[in-house]
Chain A
Amino acid sequence: MTKKISRLKDAYDVVIIGSGPAGAATAKALTGAGLNTIIIEKCKLPRDKICSGILFPSSVQFIREHFGEIPEHVVCEPRIIKGNRVFLDLDSEYMDMPFSAFDQSEGLPETGLNSLRSEVDHWLCNQSDATIVDDCLFISSRQEGEDIKVDLRHADTEKTLGTRFLVGADGPQSKVRRSVSPDFDKHLRWIPVYEEWYRGDTALEPGYLYIFLDRGVTGFMATVFHKDDQIHVTTGVRQNESSKAFQKQFVAHLRERHGLVIKETMLTRGIVLNDMTAMKNYNPGTGNVILCGEAAGILRGGEGITSALVTGTAAGESIMACLDTNKDPAEVYRTHKDYVEEIQRCEAVHATAEGILGYNIFTRE
């Protein structure tokens, strides 16, 4: 149920910032507990976000187990993603990297599912009984006695909510993280990423996530994937580099070597990621403020949806474990079995990638 800011109550048991998979999973884990839970989203819903939208086998399995069968309206063409194809440099052929190279957990599907983030994220959120407020900005939070005060803004309207638990599920540029750990972000390295959607053609076969690692043309890492009748090209670079300039070089390479023909550019947009996961610099939050997903710095290489789902669920379960107790929620979360194991999985994925490539893509010069 989506509500307007002016109609909100003054206090909620749990306030979740961010309506992606991490926030949705937190809300879902609290479903039925009788808690007043609210999800705050800065964009208008349903909102898209920069991401391949490929649900890796681990995400597909997790969603089926915790949220139910994935509905058709969140899926796009080509439906099935068979794996990754990695170009180490400009002259070599691609190297096939199936999903199983990074995750051999029992019962996993072999293939991934191509989804629309706008639809899948919204559907996930709607599987909980949380109130959802969109087009609403989290400004800051502060502790007042046993309560947390959360300042929000929608257009010209400001509102302060009181809550017992605050969950930052608001991505790599988390404002909740900055609110509770003001100095933490000063020491991060940032990865600017730029994306364009084209209507056109390419010789790259649909059904794979193409990853290009040539440092000279792609900066840090570039990807190509198909969504319905469009080709999405994304380029990530180092902090002081221009992602738009590298994208131009990369597109020129795609035209020359992979038959890219652009008939129309449909959309441009970007995001700024950071090196938290690469540096094992996690931030689970503090006290009654819990961070999950990319806000906590947890993702499996380039795949963040599974980590968001797992840690979001752990966040919700940790809150449940702290009701009517004096336990420290962030500490319960930091030592939650699933949180600890998710970090181990992320680090195993990084180690596997480094073993295959012979270098760490985050730290190579």
Chain B
Amino acid sequence: MVLEITDECTICGTCLEECPIDSIEEGTDKYIIDQTHCTECDACFYVCPGGHILKIKN
């Protein structure tokens, strides 16, 4: 499983504040999850107010 932020991201910053290990970065038009450091703790998945973070089977 990997977590990915969709193109619907509104750059609200909720996930950025939630990740305790700073594994979410600001991209040009959406935030991006650093897959090397993400542990799949799902914290961002639960807090995204728009449901724009998906769990994808790898």
* Residue ranges of A at the interface with B (Cβ–Cβ < 8 Å): 42-43, 137, 153, 155, 173, 185, 188, 190, 192-194, 239, 242-245, 267-272, 274
Which of A153, A243, A245, A269 touches B42 (beta carbons < 8 Å)?
Answer: A269
CB closest chain-B residue, reference A137: B46
Determine whether B36 belongs to the interface, using a CB cutoff of 8 Å to chain A.
Answer: yes
Given contacts A192-B39, A272-B20, 10 further A-B contacts (CB under 8 A): A42-B46, A193-B39, A239-B21, A242-B36, A243-B39, A244-B36, A244-B39, A270-B38, A270-B39, A274-B20
| Total residues of chain B contacting the partner, CB 8 A | 17
A269 to B38, CA, bound (A): 10
- What are 13 A-B contacts with C-beta separation under 8 Å? A137-B46, A153-B49, A192-B21, A193-B39, A194-B39, A242-B37, A244-B36, A268-B1, A268-B40, A268-B58, A269-B41, A269-B42, A270-B39
Is B12 close to A, CB under 8 A?
A: no
* Neighbour of A270 across the interface among B40, B49, B51, CB < 8 A: B40
Is B43 engaged at the interface, CB distance under 8 Å to the other chain? yes
B40 and A272 contacting across the interface, CB-CB below 8 Å: no
Chain B 7-37, CB-CB to A under 8 Å as 1, else 0, gives 0000000000000110000000000000111
Q: Which of A185, A242, A245 contacts B20 (CB 8 A)?
A: A185
Q: How far is the CB of A173 from chain B (nearest CB, A)?
A: 6
Alpha-carbon gap, A244 to B58, bound state (A): 14
Contact B39 A271 (CB under 8 A): yes
3 cross-chain pairs, A with B, having the tightest CB-CB distances, nearest first: A270-B39, A270-B40, A192-B39
**In the complex the two chains form, is B36's CB within 8 Å of A190's CB?**
no
Whether B1 pairs with A269 at a CB distance below 8 angstroms is yes
> Which residue of A is nearest B47, CB measured?
A137
Nearest CB of A to B47, in Å: 7
* Among B1, B38, B39, B58: residue with most chain A CB under 10 A: B39
**What is the bound-complex CA distance between A185 and B20, given in angstroms?**
9
Residue of B35, B36, B37, B42 ringed by the most chain A CB atoms within 10 A: B37
The chain B residue with its CB closest to the CB of A155 is B51
What residues on B are CB-neighbors of A268 within 8 Å?
1, 40, 58
Q: Which residues of A contact B1 (CB under 8 A)?
A: 267-269
**Other-chain contact of A192, B37, B46, B47, B51 (Cβ < 8 Å):** B37
With a cutoff of 8 Å between Cβ atoms, the chain B residues found around residue A272 in the complex are 20-21, 39, 41, 43
A173 and B47 form a contact (CB under 8 A)? no
Enumerate chain A residues within 8 angstroms of B37, measured Cβ to Cβ: 192, 242-243
Give A178 Cβ to nearest chain B Cβ, in Å. 9
Q: How far, in whole Å, are A212 and B13 apart by their CA atoms in the complex?
A: 37
Instruction: Give A192's nearest chain B residue, CB to CB.
Output: B39
Most chain A CB inside 10 Å of its own CB: which residue of B21, B38, B42: B21
Chain B residues with CB below 8 A from A269, complex form: 1, 40-42
B40 contacts which chain A residues (CB < 8 A)?
A: 194, 268-270
How far does the alpha carbon of A293 sit from the alpha carbon of B37 in the complex, in Å? 26
Chain B positions within 8 Å of A155 at CB level: 51
Docked complex Cα distance between A274 and B20 (Å): 9
Least CB distance from B30 to A in Å reads 21
Whether A173 and B41, one on each chain, are in contact in the complex, defined by CB atoms closer than 8 angstroms, is yes
- Contact in complex: A270, B41 (CB < 8 Å): yes
How far in angstroms is the closest Cβ of chain A from B8? 14
Docked complex Cα distance between A274 and B40 (Å): 16
Residues of A within 8 A of B58 (CB): 268
Q: When chains A and B are docked, how far (Å) is the Cα of A245 from the Cα of B35?
A: 11
CA A188 – CA B43 in complex, angstroms?
Answer: 17
- Kindly list chain B residues whose C-beta atoms are within 8 Å of the C-beta of A193: 39
